[in-house]
Structure 1
Amino acid sequence: MDFEIRESVLSDAEQLIEHKLIVTKENPDTLATLIENHYISINEQEETIENVGPNDYKRVAVVDGKIVGIINMKQDLRKKFEHIAQFGISVQQEYAGMGIGSRLIENALEFAKSNEFIEKVMLTVFSNNTGAIRLYERFGFEKEATLTNQVKLEEGYTDLIYMTQWIKK
């Protein structure tokens, strides 16, 4: 199945909300999103689409006109941390294993490497999300810190892992 990766546009707002609802429902123990505790209106989503800084990277993965994956990488705007960008990624389960997540990460890292400000890319991942951890490790991310029992789930707690990659040093 073919897929396209492109920038999101205002007309994607409704599909982006739907995507976030789907992946949150599919991954209740491995994903934390704002949509869990706050409904995102179309206007709020449109503002998010428009609010892309010059050193930010936001893309959607589309299959047959449907958004099935997203990646958002945002530069830290604080002076002492502006060399760092953090990203989050999600792909709907039905489309897992197609290379969508890999391509999204690959493209985001290419963007970061070509950006004059970004030197380090980081992400957070629940320790119970072993598939995602393996994917990030394949792309050169290393575990840098673990916050013990940082995430409260319905059936207990799990750790939050910070993974990083220096792309320029």
Structure 2
Amino acid sequence: MTRHTDDKVTIRFVRIEDAVAILSMQREVFYEGEFFIAVSEEFNKTMEQQLEWIQSIIDNDRDTMFVAEINGELAGMVVFVSPARKRLSHTGSITMMIQKAHRNKGIGKALLQELLAWAEQHPLIEKVSLGVFSNNLRAIALYKSLGFVEEGRKVKEFKLAENEYADDILMYKFV
């Protein structure tokens, strides 16, 4: 599945050969230190682990990953992972990452639209969930614009600095 959102942006399923570019993007985004649970010094994934992770997503029919490319270069990704437990197999959660240089260009929206279209066509997936930092207002607005609603909140879940916290807002959408 490939979708061209304009002349330059392509949204497509991940391929194993994307591993190097994805790992590089993850390191770059984690280095920023904003809006992710892990901080840069905690992210130490090896290339072998990255290859195994991407292959496991490709091999599992309830998981998926889409990447966004601009002129052939990786700009972002969205990952959907469904739990292995039978009573949770109708659900899954997403994680999204956009390179700083490519934010505010509609890439996140295009990735989420592609993922939601995939989930709507999937015979088992009924609910897409996510968690978002309460201070990530752009992401929250994006999720709401696509029909996600807040279902709960973990208060002061993330400690950003001394006496500075963010809630973990839990959101979902039925597909």
TM-score normalised over the length of structure 2: 0.89
- Structure 2 match to 1:10: 16
Check conservation: 1:10, 1:49, Cα contact below 8 A: yes
- Structure 1 match to 2:113: 106
- Structure 2 match to 1:166: 174
- SS for the counterpart of 1:51 is helix
Residues 30-109 of structure 1 aligned to structure 2 (within 5 Å): 30-33=35-38, 36-52=41-57, 53-109=60-116
The alignment covers a number of residue pairs equal to 166
Instruction: State the percentage of identical aligned residues.
Output: 30
Residues 127-146 of structure 1 aligned to structure 2 (within 5 Å): 127-146=134-153
Gaps of 5+ in 1: none
Q: Aligned partners of 1:8, 1:36: CA distance in 2, in Å?
A: 26
Q: Aligned partners of 2:140, 2:158: CA distance in 1, in Å?
A: 16
Check conservation: 1:20, 1:35, Cα contact below 8 A: no
Cα deviation, 1:91-112, whole Å, max 9, x if unaligned, reads 1121112211111000100011
Check conservation: 1:83, 1:117, Cα contact below 8 A: yes
Equivalent residue letter for 1:40: K
CA RMSD, aligned part only? 1.5
- Which of 19, 26, 46 is equivalent to 1:20? 26
Question: 1:83: Cα distance to partner?
Answer: 0.9
TM-score normalised over the length of structure 1: 0.92
Question: 1:25: Cα distance to partner?
Answer: 2.4
Gaps of 5+ in 2: 1-6
Cα deviation, 1:6-56, whole Å, max 9, x if unaligned, reads 222222222111101111223x23222476413111111100110021011
